[in-house]
Amino acid sequence: MNDNVFADAFAPAIDDPRFTDLIDVFTIPARVPLTPEIDMYLATHITPLWQATEDMLGVMDIPPPYWAFAWPGGQAIARYILDHPELVRGKNVLDFACGGGMQAIACVMAGAGHVTANDIDPVAIAATRLNATRNKVAFDTLTDDLVGTTGTTRRWDVIFAGDVCYQQTMANAILTWLMDEARLGTTVILADPGRTYAPTRNIDELETYDVPVDIAVEDVDTKFTRVWQLLPDRDA
């Protein structure tokens, strides 16, 4: 997931080998509940990993290690991709705020032509690369902050964004950027389990899932999650 605090604090450390050590110590390989075709390095507890990341980097108050959990939106999108491979087959795809790269992995499995996984958290990108290797797939990774970078031509055929609507300022910026991308002709797919700042207009519901989740993170064991396509508001 994207949070601008990473951009300045950790940019020089993108390939820091300590990230791999952190993942080895604080995660375990596990099948993703809604997409058992995918195997990822996942954490069983958030606090020890969060504290260890701060200690390793010498930076306090960093965002939680979002990459270490199979969030409901990401699971829902990954399931939808695997069930509808025609959505990505042969296409140029972006997994935005990729976390551990679950959606990117699903895209490769479904036959996408070119896949880029993007997250400004370098630890997430380290985890994404390890998860790709574990699933015997390959794709590009990118740590640039893409929000607000829309140009005049389409860069991707499809953009996937799961679980990006949990904080108001961030959600507003991301949704504005995604709408700009949709106006260029990009298919933009979102998924959200009912967070406060999820979109309520210019969307077309594609599918719903009851997604198994970590009760320690979500306070429940299942989240009802919607997958939408963002419809370009050409009059905006």
How many other C-beta atoms are found inside a 10 Å radius of the C-beta of residue 137?
Answer: 18
Q: Cβ distance 82 to 88 under 8 Å? A: no
Phi, psi of 101 (to 5 degrees): 85, 20
Q: Cβ distance 139 to 104 under 8 Å? A: yes
Cα four-point dihedral sign 181, 162, 169, 12 = negative
Which tokens belong to 130? Answer: 């390890």
CA distance 189 to 178: 9
CA distance 101 to 139: 10
Q: What structural domains and CATH numbers belong to the chain?
A: 5-230 (3.40.50.150)
Residue with tokens 């199979």: 70
Measured in residues, the chain has a length of 236
Q: What is the pLDDT along the chain (236 residues), one digit of tens a residue?
A: 444 554 455 544 567 788 888 888 889 999 999 999 999 999 988 778 878 878 877 777 777 788 999 999 999 999 999 999 999 999 999 999 999 999 999 999 999 999 999 999 988 999 999 999 999 999 999 999 999 999 999 999 999 999 999 899 999 999 999 999 999 999 999 999 999 999 999 999 999 999 999 887 788 999 999 999 999 975 54
> How far, in Å, are 66, 100, 108, 118, 129 from residue 103 at the CA level?
14, 9, 9, 11, 13
Taking each helix axis from N to C end, the angle separating 46-57 and 18-26, rounded to the nearest 10 degrees, works out to 160
**Pairing between β-strand 222-230 and β-strand 187-192 as defined by DSSP bridges:** antiparallel
What's the predicted TM-score (pTM) here?
A: 0.90
Residue 221 burial (10 A CB sphere; 0-12, 13-18, 19+): exposed
